[in-house]
Amino acid sequence: KAGVTQTPRYLIKTRGQQVTLSCSPISGHRSVSWYQQTPGQGLQFLFEYFSETQRNKGNFPGRFSGRQFSNSRSEMNVSTLELGDSALYLCASSLAGQGIRYFGPGTRLTVT
């Protein structure tokens, strides 16, 4: 089976712009979660989707949003980018009810 894929792998944006990141889960996985990784804050949970419904949300401002499509692919959007949004954004997928999250390679976002 193919692993979790994330596109794009690298992205450079300017402050104030918006960005959309994409995540395709492992075939058959219906749950997708997103994490932000920065040197200062470490790994922080953004949100999780299951069957197109957001099940959990972390403590991030409303500028961070996401959605999941009927094929389980997920997108996250960050509007009005700030310098502090520069991070590695990781997506993970899992089978419903399983404890194991399989991570993608991440998208490195740089905001200038």
Partner 1 sequence: AQTVTQSQPEMSVQEAETVTLSCTYDTSESDYYLFWYKQPPSRQMILVIRQEAYKQQNATENRFSVNFQKAAKSFSLKISDSQLGDAAMYFCAFRPANTDKLIFGTGTRLQVFP
Residues that bind partner 1 in the complex, under the rule CB under 8 A: 31, 33, 35, 42-43, 45, 48, 50, 55-56, 58, 88, 90, 92, 94, 99-106, 108
Query: Residue 31 or residue 80: which is nearer to partner 1 going by CB?
Result: 31
Q: How far is the CB of 104 from partner 1 (least distance, A)?
A: 8
End-to-end CA distance of the chain: 37
C-beta of 60: minimal distance to partner 1 in Å? 12
Q: Which residue, 15 or 52, is less far from partner 1 as judged by CB?
A: 52
Least Å from the CB of residue 15 to partner 1: 24
CA torsion 95-52-74-59 (nearest 10°) is -90
Which residues lie closer than 8 Å to 83 by C-beta, 6 or more apart? 15, 111, 112
Eight-class DSSP state of 71 = T
